[in-house]
Amino acid sequence: MRKLILATLLVAATFGTALAQDNSATNGNNSIPNMGHAPKQPDGVGRLDLRVVDEDGNPVKGVRAGLASHRTGGFLCESWNWTDAHGVAVLPPLHMGQLTLKLSAKGYETQKIEVNAA
């Protein structure tokens, strides 16, 4: 199975570029505007702008990106979308807590990334 590479993961300014696994493999996706939104406070609302490429740096269409947010008080928010022909997916906004991002696509290994937004 081939691996998906998270080219650019922009959830919040607090995450910075530490989440990006390979910023050099955007394959021209830098011209697509970033629609990510950083939460302004703990448990605030944010939005994920995601770029996905394969091992050769080519955009991957049809990747299902699911983001689950476990918040204080036991609340769970979920958001998901599929990548377009440019490997870009912008997920609907959700409250940011303890985040789990799951990427899956036919012919690729499913990837799960745990992120603490606090």
Residue 28 and residue 22: Cα distance in Å, rounded? Answer: 14
pLDDT along the chain (118 residues), means of 10: 54 33 45 75 83 89 94 91 94 88 91 74
Q: How far apart are CA 80 and CA 55, in angstroms?
A: 23
Whether the model pTM is above 0.85: no
Residue with token string 């570029």: 17
Residue 31's pLDDT is: 75
End-to-end CA distance of the chain: 34
57: DSSP letter? S
Domains of the chain: 5-116 (2.60.40)
Give Cα 114 distance to the centre of its chain: 11
pLDDT value of position 64: 96
Q: What is the pLDDT of residue 33?
A: 74
